[in-house]
Every structure is written in structure tokens, then in C-alpha cells.
Chain A
Amino acid sequence: MELEPILLTLQLATVTTVVLLSVGTPLAWWLAHTRHWLRHPLGALVSLPLVLPPTVLGFYLLVGLGPNGPLGGLAEELGWGSLAFTFPGLVIGSCVYSLPFVVQPIQNAFEALGRRPLEVAATLRAGPLDRFFHVALPLSRPGFLTAATLGFAHTVGEFGVVLMIGGNIPGQTKVISIAIYDHVEALEYGSAHLLAGGMLGFAFLVLLILQLMNRRMARASA
């Protein structure tokens, strides 16, 4: 059993999920509460990765992260070297690719919460941060759980983007999906079966646990 692609995939999905939760929460909050005209174009922008082929993202990332691209150029200036074919490059790609899966569940939770609990908390002299951390967050917990799980699982299932900006480097960019592709191409069906079967079981378990937890939470809050 090859551990390297598995560990790398889990690492990528974990980092991506953490980054997306920290970036996605304020973004979801803003989208849920603002009346600004920008919320429509921004909302559409956030949803784009849902409908774009991974090749579109892969192509722009390749051009953007390369030494001649804006992001790659910036990284070169900072002395990081170009980002394509690196783990940080994959993190950037995965964050773009899994963004809607994290932002939308959180946004939905905030919207479902409405203004009322926050207004009540305000009359009780809770400050804005206090209201957010002690009222909005706990009440939106199922949304966050869904966001984290979907973001994580979606990143684990990534293929097209990684194929285009990864370069298939063992321990760096060779994630599970690429390893499976590699095995199939080389007719190593035994190894492909192992990894593919593992992925299948993993995905099923994640979704099953998510369902059960959501039901428990719904009951707890009811």
C-alpha cells in the first residue's frame, strides 16, 4: 500500500479546508448580510468553480502561477520560486476549486439564522464580535460542519486541476487521484484497485457520517 499519495492528499485537503474556513467565513458573512450591489457579482464568482471544467481552472492557474504569470511572478519576487508543480501551488488551486463548497453552506446557515437572534443579543449589550462568536457561530454549527466536510472531500476528489498544474511529483504533487490515473495507465490494476476502492469507501463513510451528524444536530437544536 502506498502511503505517500494518501498522506499527501490528506495534508492537501486539511490545509485547504483550514484556509477556506478562515477565508470563507467572513466572505459568507458578508454575502449573507450585505445589501451592497457587489453581492450578486461576487456570489456568482464564488459559485463559478461549480460549473467550470477543471481544465479552465487548471489552464488559468498554470498561466497565472508560472514564472510569467502575476502570482508566479510575485512568488518569484518573494524568493519562493514559481508556484506551479509545488504543494503551495496545489493549495491555491484547491482553494479556488473548493471555494463554493465551503462558502455556500456557511452562507446558507447565516441566512437561515436571520437577524433576529443577533438583534436580541445586541439589546442585551453584546458587542459585534461577541454576537458573532457566541450567537451566530454556535447556531450555524451544522453549516460549518457541512462546509468543512464538503471542502475536505471535494479537495480529496480533485483531479483535473492537479493533473494540469501538479507535474506528478511523488511526495509533492502526486495525490491519490493522480496515483490511480498513473496505475491505470501503466496497467497496474492491482494497485489501482487498492487506491480506488479505498477512495470509494472513504467517500461513502464521510457522507454517511455527515448525514448522521446532521440528523443528531437537527434533533439537538429542535
Chain B
Amino acid sequence: MKRQGFTNLARALLLASTALLPHSAAMAAEVNAAVAANFTAAMKEIVTAFEAATGHKVLASYGSTGKLYAQIVNGAPFGLFLAADAARPKRLEEEGKAVPGSRFTYAVGRLVLWSPAPDRVDGEGTVLKSGEFSRLAIANPKTAPYGTAAMEVLEGLGLEAAVSDRLIRGDSITQTYQFVASGNAELGFVALSQVALLPEEKVGSRWLVPQSLYAPLQQQAVLLKEGAGNPAAVALAEYLKSPAARAVIEAYGYGTE
């Protein structure tokens, strides 16, 4: 008899909890976002504002675009993908891993040649031709679009062979930046967003690479199949297009469309 009462209680609790579930999901959901490394700092600001505005929760994973793409192809549970290029989101769409028509450009990246030392890099990038450095850091061209762009610049300037034995490759643009910031490489091609908001004493010297020297870094986001039914994923994609998010994105030196 007593046992009967216990099962009834358990059943009631179970019912109550299941009744709560969809309700709470509608109110606040959680989204896993795969974010290109160059967008790390901007994304952190955007996430804070987004969470405060909507009550949703964002779990962001930062890495090179190629790595994240490979993880998504292999079934990683990401709801939204913010890439550093247009090619990989497009491929995910074609492969049926993303929601058709959900692709949009959230930022346009700029490449800079940067050194933490003042006067190291001139505004023309002639330091590359003079060869007065022992190490030049770039992101891995195979997996990081900013690395691909850096190689395009070197090829365009005809310096590819000259610097090939002095190139060190970061796993992503974040590691590349760290190689340069820590002084292990004197200079490196990094994202403008990484050095746009540095304090005066750390600003160093840089050459903003002319956009004619590399294919535009159209950074596209796409809603993944995993996130199609997730209100948090959909809301985050929308939020990226909002004036509030755009203000942050532009503050970091990106262009917006």
C-alpha cells in the first residue's frame, strides 16, 4: 500500500517535470556555436549582450574554420557556425548539413601584418621585402582562411620562396597571434580584429594589407541542421544581424554588409 503511494508520487513528479520541460525550453534554450578563431574577442562581447537580452545560453567553441568544418561534417553537435570564409558554410549547405538559405555575411575581415614592437612594421609592408626578420607567423593556410589570405599576399608580392623557410604556422589565427605577441616570431599576419582594440602601450606597429592583395574575407554564418529547431540558435543568428551586434563587429575593425 505504502509502496503504491510512492509510485504514485514518483509518477506525479515525473509528470510535473515533463510538463515543465518544453515550457522552459521555449523560454531559454542553449546553443553550441562553432566560431572562427579571429572572431573570438568580438563574439565574447556579443554573447554577453545576447544572453542578457534573450535569456538564452551560448556555448561557443573557437578554432580554425577548417577544423570546425571537419568537426561539423563528422557530427559535432553545433547549432550555428560562424566561419572565416564563405566557402565552408556553402559546402555545408550543399552537403545538406546546414539549413538552406540561412547563410549570411556577418563580417568582412581584414588582414594585417603586425608586430608588438613599435617601428618594426612600416605602413607599406616593405619589411617583408627587406627580410629583416627571422620568423614570420601565419595561420595554417589549409585550415584557416586568414592563413590562405596571407599566402595569397606573399605570392602576390613574389616573396613566397624568399620567406618559405622562415614561416611558422599557427594552428589557428589565435595561436598565430600568440606566437607574435609572445615575441617568438617578430611579425605575423593576423586579423585586424585582434589588434584593433589593443591598449596604447601594446599596439606595436602594423601594415593594413591592401584588399587588392587577397580575396575578400567574407565571413559567413550558417544555421546548421542541428540548430534548425533550436530557438537559441535561430535567435543568435538573427541577433548577429542586429544594429547592436553590428556596432560591436565594426568596433573590432570588421566591415559589415
Q: Which residues of A contact B (CB under 8 A)?
A: 62-63, 65-68, 81-82, 84-85, 163, 167-169, 182, 184-187
B67 interfacial by beta-carbon distance below 8 Å: yes
Q: Choose, from B18-26, B178-186, B222-230, B242-250, the stretch at the interface.
A: B178-186
- Determine the main DSSP class of A at the interface with B: loop
Among A65, A163, A168, A187, which residue has its beta carbon within 8 angstroms of that of B168?
A: A168
Q: Choose, from B33-41, B106-114, B135-143, B193-201, the stretch at the interface.
A: B135-143
A85-B135, A186-B66, A187-B70 given as contacts; is B171 within 8 A of A168 (CB)?
A: yes
**Contact between chains at A185 and B142 (CB < 8 Å):** yes
Q: How far is the CB of B78 from chain A (nearest CB, A)?
A: 16
How far is A167 from B70 in the complex, measured between Cα atoms in Å? Answer: 21
B73 interfacial by beta-carbon distance below 8 Å: yes
Q: How far is the CB of B70 from chain A (nearest CB, A)?
A: 5
How far is A187 from B69 in the complex, measured between Cα atoms in Å? Answer: 9
Chain B: CB-nearest residue to A67: B183
Q: How far is the CB of A32 from chain B (nearest CB, A)?
A: 39
**Contact between chains at B184 and A186 (CB < 8 Å):** no
**Contact between chains at A185 and B167 (CB < 8 Å):** no
Q: How far is the CB of B169 from chain A (nearest CB, A)?
A: 4
**Contact between chains at B70 and A185 (CB < 8 Å):** yes
Residues of B within 8 A of A (CB-CB), count: 22
Contacts of A182 in B (CB 8 A): 140, 142-143
A167-B169, A167-B179, A185-B142 given as contacts; is B70 within 8 A of A62 (CB)?
A: no
How far is A126 from B67 in the complex, measured between Cα atoms in Å? Answer: 62
Q: How far is the CB of A56 from chain B (nearest CB, A)?
A: 16
B48 interfacial by beta-carbon distance below 8 Å: no
How far is A84 from B73 in the complex, measured between Cα atoms in Å? Answer: 34
Among A67, A185, A187, which residue has its beta carbon within 8 angstroms of that of B184?
A: A67
A167-B170, A169-B168, A169-B169 given as contacts; is B185 within 8 A of A185 (CB)?
A: no
Q: Using a CB-CB cutoff of 8 Å, which residues 63-120 of chain B contact chain A?
A: 64, 66-67, 69-70, 73
What 8 A-B pairs have minimum CB-CB distances, sorted nearest first?
A: A167-B168, A168-B169, A186-B142, A84-B184, A67-B183, A185-B143, A66-B184, A185-B67
Q: How far is the CB of A161 from chain B (nearest CB, A)?
A: 14
Among A66, A67, A185, which residue has its beta carbon within 8 angstroms of that of B64?
A: A185
How far is A85 from B170 in the complex, measured between Cα atoms in Å? Answer: 11
**Contact between chains at B73 and A187 (CB < 8 Å):** yes
Chain B: CB-nearest residue to A171: B165
B211 interfacial by beta-carbon distance below 8 Å: no
How far is A85 from B167 in the complex, measured between Cα atoms in Å? Answer: 10
How far is A65 from B135 in the complex, measured between Cα atoms in Å? Answer: 15
Contacts of B61 in A (CB 8 A): none
How far is A168 from B169 in the complex, measured between Cα atoms in Å? Answer: 5
Chain B: CB-nearest residue to A169: B168
**Contact between chains at B182 and A62 (CB < 8 Å):** yes
Q: How far is the CB of B89 from chain A (nearest CB, A)?
A: 15
How far is A167 from B182 in the complex, measured between Cα atoms in Å? Answer: 13
**Contact between chains at B134 and A81 (CB < 8 Å):** yes
Contacts of B183 in A (CB 8 A): 66-68, 82
User: Could you write out 12 A-B pairs with CB less than 8 Å apart?
Assistant: A62-B184, A65-B184, A68-B182, A85-B184, A167-B184, A169-B167, A169-B169, A184-B70, A185-B67, A186-B70, A187-B66, A187-B69
Q: How far is the CB of A85 from chain B (nearest CB, A)?
A: 5
How far is A169 from B142 in the complex, measured between Cα atoms in Å? Answer: 14
Counting chain A CB atoms within 10 Å of each CB, the highest count among B137, B171, B179 belongs to B171
Q: Using a CB-CB cutoff of 8 Å, which residues 158-180 of chain B contact chain A?
A: 167-171, 179
Contacts of A81 in B (CB 8 A): 134
How far is A84 from B135 in the complex, measured between Cα atoms in Å? Answer: 11
Q: How far is the CB of A8 from chain B (nearest CB, A)?
A: 15
Contacts of A185 in B (CB 8 A): 64, 66-67, 70, 140, 142-143
How far is A84 from B134 in the complex, measured between Cα atoms in Å? Answer: 12
A185-B143, A186-B66 given as contacts; is B168 within 8 A of A85 (CB)?
A: yes
Contacts of A187 in B (CB 8 A): 66, 69-70, 73
How far is A187 from B179 in the complex, measured between Cα atoms in Å? Answer: 25
